[in-house]
């Protein structure tokens, strides 16, 4: 008798948990909340949480509140895979948001694809991620585009003819960007005078910079992450290199100034959005983010926010919240007014949207120009 | 004539008898592979597979660190060699000879493709063995901490080489690996690993290894070729680490050099130390417990919002080392505890 009553309780619990009877819509997030890239994971998480909070304040989706389940992967691909399996099979989430790094998105995507759960990566820029299957999307531009943007900027706005590259061989992101920059810059008639490399974690770049100085380039392209870029800028200026420094969205952190300081003046990098953009979508986002977290959002927070917004908009368009319907709705996203520009999802499930070029000046990122795809 | 024949027969029969349980265990692994998916959620299943891979790693490292008493910190390096080579082999086969691997009609993998997968696993293991031999030969002549430093350096060298090798994707990592590894494969190799290490440890070679652990000078005085013994154990440990790497690669379907940094080696060392240096069952238990513990603590993160997993993980280790510095089992095996008798075999202290 006791056993039977317990069984019925179990059944009742199981029923409330199963998605059909659920009163909430479960969304999974996998991010690096600890480990060496924790700041990226935290920023993205804050952006996503803000979007969830706003959506719930509006009454959720189809009258159901959204429940965000955030799992940590410690910056490891296999942990990301385990976390994704848990979200998909245990928590029965309707969609997954994540990951920042392409290496971890690649470990997650096959699982999402296999279980037919739509997955939107906020900022994995490696082209291969969305090639894994038709349930995998992203809301950021991909490495080729960012490389092209900076090549175009260097050739047209800076009138550079001879550019040096300093790439981080440890990061696929940096290597990819360097390759696409080289390709685009050569097409526009420029010349890569020297291609040097370093490994993230290094602190002394004098030997690379000395050989770059010898070639007297018009600009130096450093598509790395902020920690090394700050140090490189400092050491470059110390060596008397005055050429402008160029980079990608890996520069986007207030830590950049803490490390690099004034040495970063006369530097430019491509990014997803500019805080100076007066568009209402951007200003509203910055305002609510500031009131929520008491700080200025960085690019990754904006991307996380956008990924969640694109997903919610797609979910609202569906009839029954079936995974195939959500998938189709995300694929049909067109000119969605997001913080990081109007997002259109193309046939390869990548976001086609403009990039902005920012100038670094006295501890501030100033808006320089917008480059359309 | 007749008598010697009879002895010969019983001998081979006895050999089979002792193999019987191991073969049964492999059959059991495949049976479970067939039955379990309908009973367990894929999440738990995945944890079991990863636990199995960790068991292979920790048992093979125990042969070096536990039984031979050498402190190797390069297990992740051997895993990377095996993993990358076997994944590279199968992905190139799929690319260049798709007729051997993929059914053109359905686009699915052919049944016979498993042969190439098995071959690539073994080749990965052999490559790791060769690398282990090359690294081990000069460095195992050294004693004490030197080996630890050499193997630590070796692991990093492998990782940096992989980062700079474009053929295996460099920093982008190797992706698009077919998922061959399943529960059955992993536990087949778990059984093979435990079997091989068990038999080696309980053979004359095992006595040699343990004599090296207990007192290298005394062992040399007894006529033991210590360098040879150490290199053998080291190469054998490397082989299974390489196989584990191959299993891992074909399970996750994507490899990244960052996965094989020294933290991975430390994780395996922790399993060996926690289970007991010189206890095979200890390594098995510790590998499973630590893999499961990490996942079991996950709900805690979900409810508190802070990732306390590593804090608790570390606490468990500290308490363990304070309360039981020899590890869970010390040098005993799980069977010794149940029988309640003292371990005599091979205990040279």
Most A CBs within 10 Å, among B53, B175, B179, to test the A interface: B175
Residues near A145 by beta carbon (within 8 Å), at least 6 away in sequence? A355, A373
- For position A7, what pLDDT does the model report? 43
**What is the distance of C-alpha B108 from the center of its chain?**
30
With cut-offs at 50, 70 and 90, classify the pLDDT of residue B302. Answer: confident
Which tokens in the block code for residue A332?
Answer: 């049909």
The reply to whether residue A81 touches residue B46, judged by beta carbons under 8 angstroms, is yes
The reply to whether residue A103 touches residue B252, judged by beta carbons under 8 angstroms, is no
With cut-offs at 50, 70 and 90, classify the pLDDT of residue B1. Answer: very low
Give the pLDDT confidence of B99-115 residue by residue, as tens digits: 888 877 777 778 788 89
What mean pLDDT is predicted for residues B308-324?
A: 84
Which tokens in the block code for residue B332?
Answer: 């005993």
Alpha-carbon distance B263 to nearest alpha carbon in chain A (angstroms): 11
How far, in Å, CA of A360 to CA of A367, rounded? 9
What pTM does this model have? 0.82
Which tokens in the block code for residue B293?
Answer: 């513990």
- For position B5, what pLDDT does the model report? 52
Contact A342, A316 (CB under 8 A): no
Contact A288, A255 (CB under 8 A): no
Residues pairing with B264 in the sheet: none
Contact A67, A27 (CB under 8 A): yes
Residue among A34, A69, A126 minimizing CB distance to B302 = A69
Contact A333, A320 (CB under 8 A): no
The reply to whether residue A72 touches residue B309, judged by beta carbons under 8 angstroms, is yes
Higher pLDDT, A22 or B49: B49
With cut-offs at 50, 70 and 90, classify the pLDDT of residue B348. Answer: very low
Ramachandran class of A75: left when φ > 0, alpha when ψ lies in -120 to 50, beta otherwise: left
Catalogue all structural domains in chain A, each as residue range(s) with its CATH number.
2-141+279-354 (3.40.50.2300), 143-271 (3.40.50.2300)
Q: Which residues on B lie below 8 Å from A128 (Cβ)?
A: 172, 175-176
The reply to whether residue B302 touches residue A71, judged by beta carbons under 8 angstroms, is yes
How far, in Å, CA of A328 to CA of A324, rounded? 6
How far, in Å, CA of A265 to CA of A250, rounded? 17
In chain B, domain spans: 19-261
User: CA angle B50-B55-B61, nearest 5°?
Assistant: 130
Question: According to the 3-state scheme, what is the secondary structure of B176-213?
Answer: CCCCCCCHHHHHHHHHHHHHHHHHHHCCHHHHHHHHHH
The reply to whether residue B310 touches residue A34, judged by beta carbons under 8 angstroms, is yes
Q: Which of A351-360, B46-55, B169-178, B243-252 has the lowest mean pLDDT?
A: B169-178
| pLDDT for B333 beyond 70 | yes
Q: Are strands A119-121 and A136-138 parallel, antiparallel or unpaired?
A: parallel
B344 C-beta neighbours (distance < 10 Å), count: 7
What are residue A97's phi and psi, to 5 degrees? -110, 130
Give the pLDDT confidence of B222-277 residue by residue, as tens digits: 999 999 999 999 999 999 999 999 999 999 998 988 889 888 999 999 999 999 99
Residues near A234 by beta carbon (within 8 Å), at least 6 away in sequence? A259, A260, A261, A263
- For position A245, what pLDDT does the model report? 94
Contact A21, A60 (CB under 8 A): no
**Is residue B310 less than 8 Å (CB to CB) from chain A?**
yes
The reply to whether residue A89 touches residue B252, judged by beta carbons under 8 angstroms, is no
Q: Which residues on A lie below 8 Å from B171 (Cβ)?
A: 169-172, 174-175
Contact A349, A357 (CB under 8 A): no
How far, in Å, CA of A326 to CA of A317, rounded? 8
Alpha-carbon distance A143 to nearest alpha carbon in chain B (angstroms): 12
Question: Does ipTM come in above 0.85?
Answer: no
A-B CB pairs within 8 A amount to 81
Most B CBs within 10 Å, among A41, A52, A72, A91, to test the B interface: A72
Give the pLDDT confidence of A240-293 residue by residue, as tens digits: 999 999 999 888 887 888 888 888 988 999 988 888 888 888 899 999 999 999
What mean pLDDT is predicted for residues B215-219?
A: 92
Coil/strand/helix, residue A104: helix
pLDDT in tens, chain A (373 residues): 344 444 444 444 444 444 445 688 999 999 988 877 788 889 999 999 999 999 999 988 988 999 999 998 888 888 899 999 999 998 999 999 989 888 899 999 999 999 999 999 998 888 889 999 999 999 988 888 889 899 999 998 899 999 999 999 878 788 889 999 999 999 988 999 999 999 888 899 999 999 999 999 999 999 988 889 999 999 999 999 999 999 998 888 878 888 888 889 889 999 888 888 888 888 999 999 999 999 888 888 999 999 999 999 999 999 888 999 999 999 999 999 899 888 999 999 999 888 899 999 888 888 888 888 7
Q: Which residues on A lie below 8 Å from B87 (Cβ)?
A: none
How far, in Å, CA of A79 to CA of A35, rounded? 12
The reply to whether residue B170 touches residue A69, judged by beta carbons under 8 angstroms, is no
What mean pLDDT is predicted for residues B72-78?
A: 93
Residues 164-203 of B with CB under 8 A from A: 164, 169-173, 175-176, 179
Give the pLDDT confidence of B135-151 residue by residue, as tens digits: 988 888 877 778 888 89
Q: Which helix (H) or strand (E) holds A298?
A: none
How far, in Å, CA of A99 to CA of A73, rounded? 10
The reply to whether residue B50 touches residue A69, judged by beta carbons under 8 angstroms, is no
Most B CBs within 10 Å, among A90, A104, A142, to test the B interface: A90
Half-sphere exposure of B253 (CA within 13 A, CB side): 18
Residue among A70, A72, A89 minimizing CB distance to B42 = A89
Q: Which class is B19-261 in CATH?
A: mainly alpha
Alpha-carbon distance B277 to nearest alpha carbon in chain A (angstroms): 27
The reply to whether residue B298 touches residue A103, judged by beta carbons under 8 angstroms, is no
A5 C-beta neighbours (distance < 10 Å), count: 9
**Which percentage of chain B shows pLDDT scores above 90?**
48
Half-sphere exposure of A288 (CA within 13 A, CB side): 20
**Is residue B256 less than 8 Å (CB to CB) from chain A?**
yes
């Amino acid at each position: 008798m006791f056993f039977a009553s317990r069984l019925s309780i179990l059944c009742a619990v199981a029923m409330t948990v199963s998605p059909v009877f659920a009163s909430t819509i479960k969304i999974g997030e996998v991010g690096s909340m600890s480990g060496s890239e924790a700041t990226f994971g935290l920023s993205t998480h804050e952006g996503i949480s803000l979007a969830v909070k706003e959506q719930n304040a509006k009454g959720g989706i189809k009258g159901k509140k959204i429940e965000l389940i955030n799992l940590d992967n410690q910056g490891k691909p296999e942990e990301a895979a385990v976390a994704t399996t848990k979200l998909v099979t245990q928590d029965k989430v309707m969609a997954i948001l994540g990951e920042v790094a392409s290496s971890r998105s690649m470990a997650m995507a096959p699982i999402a694809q296999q279980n037919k759960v739509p997955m939107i990566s906020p900022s994995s820029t490696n082209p291969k991620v969305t090639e894994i299957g038709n349930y995998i999307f992203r809301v950021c531009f991909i490495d080729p585009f960012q490389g092209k943007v900076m090549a175009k900027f260097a050739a047209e706005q800076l009138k550079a003819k001879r550019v040096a590259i300093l790439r981080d061989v440890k990061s696929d992101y940096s290597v990819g960007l360097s390759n696409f920059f080289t390709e685009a810059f050569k097409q526009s008639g420029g010349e890569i005078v020297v291609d040097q490399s370093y490994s993230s974690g290094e602190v002394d770049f004098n030997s690379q910079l000395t050989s770059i100085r010898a070639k007297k380039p018009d600009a130096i392209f450093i598509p790395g992450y902020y920690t090394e870029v700050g140090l490189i800028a400092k050491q470059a200026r110390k060596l008397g290199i005055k050429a402008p420094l160029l980079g990608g969205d890996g520069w986007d952190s207030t830590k950049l100034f803490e490390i690099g300081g004034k040495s970063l003046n006369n530097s430019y990098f491509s990014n997803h959005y500019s805080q100076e953009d007066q568009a209402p979508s951007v200003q509203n986002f910055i305002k609510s983010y500031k009131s929520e977290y008491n700080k200025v959002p960085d690019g990754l927070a904006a991307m996380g926010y956008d990924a969640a917004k694109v997903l919610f908009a797609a979910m609202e368009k569906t009839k029954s919240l079936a995974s195939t319907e959500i998938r189709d709705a995300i694929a049909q996203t067109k000119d969605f007014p997001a913080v990081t520009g109007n997002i259109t999802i193309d046939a390869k499930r990548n976001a086609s949207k403009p990039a902005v070029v920012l100038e670094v000046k006295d501890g501030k990122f100033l808006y320089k120009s917008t480059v359309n795809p | 004539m007749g008598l010697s024949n009879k002895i010969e027969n019983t001998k081979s029969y006895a050999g089979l008898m002792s193999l019987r349980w191991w073969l049964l265990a492999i059959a059991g692994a495949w049976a479970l592979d067939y039955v379990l998916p309908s009973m367990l959620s894929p999440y738990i299943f995945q944890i079991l597979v990863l636990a199995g891979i960790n068991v292979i790693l920790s048992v093979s490292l125990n042969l070096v660190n536990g039984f031979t008493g050498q402190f190797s910190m390069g297990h992740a390096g051997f895993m990377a060699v095996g993993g990358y080579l076997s994944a590279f082999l199968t992905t190139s086969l799929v690319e260049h000879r798709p007729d051997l691997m993929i059914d053109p009609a359905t686009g699915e993998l052919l049944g016979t493709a498993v042969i190439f997968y098995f071959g690539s696993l073994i080749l990965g293991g052999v490559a790791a063995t060769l690398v282990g031999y090359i690294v081990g030969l000069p460095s195992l002549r050294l004693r004490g901490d030197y080996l630890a430093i050499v193997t630590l350096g070796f692991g990093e060298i492998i990782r940096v080489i992989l980062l700079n090798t474009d053929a295996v994707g460099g920093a982008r990592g190797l992706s698009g690996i077919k998922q061959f590894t399943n529960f059955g494969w992993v536990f087949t190799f778990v059984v093979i690993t435990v079997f091989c290490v068990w038999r080696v440890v309980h053979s004359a070679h095992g006595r040699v290894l343990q004599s090296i652990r207990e007192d290298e000078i005394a062992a040399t005085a007894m006529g033991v070729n210590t360098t040879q013994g150490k290199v053998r154990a080291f190469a054998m440990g490397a082989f299974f680490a390489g196989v584990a790497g191959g299993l891992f690669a074909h399970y996750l379907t994507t490899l990244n050099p960052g996965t094989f940094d020294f933290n991975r080696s430390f994780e395996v060392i922790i399993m060996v130390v926690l289970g007991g240096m010189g206890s095979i069952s200890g390594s098995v238990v510790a590998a499973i417990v630590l893999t499961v513990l990490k996942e079991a603590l996950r709900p805690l993160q979900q409810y508190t919002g802070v990732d306390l997993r590593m804090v608790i993980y570390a606490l468990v280790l500290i308490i363990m080392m304070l309360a039981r510095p020899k590890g869970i089992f010390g040098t005993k095996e799980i069977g010794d505890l149940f029988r309640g008798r003292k371990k005599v075999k091979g205990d040279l202290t």
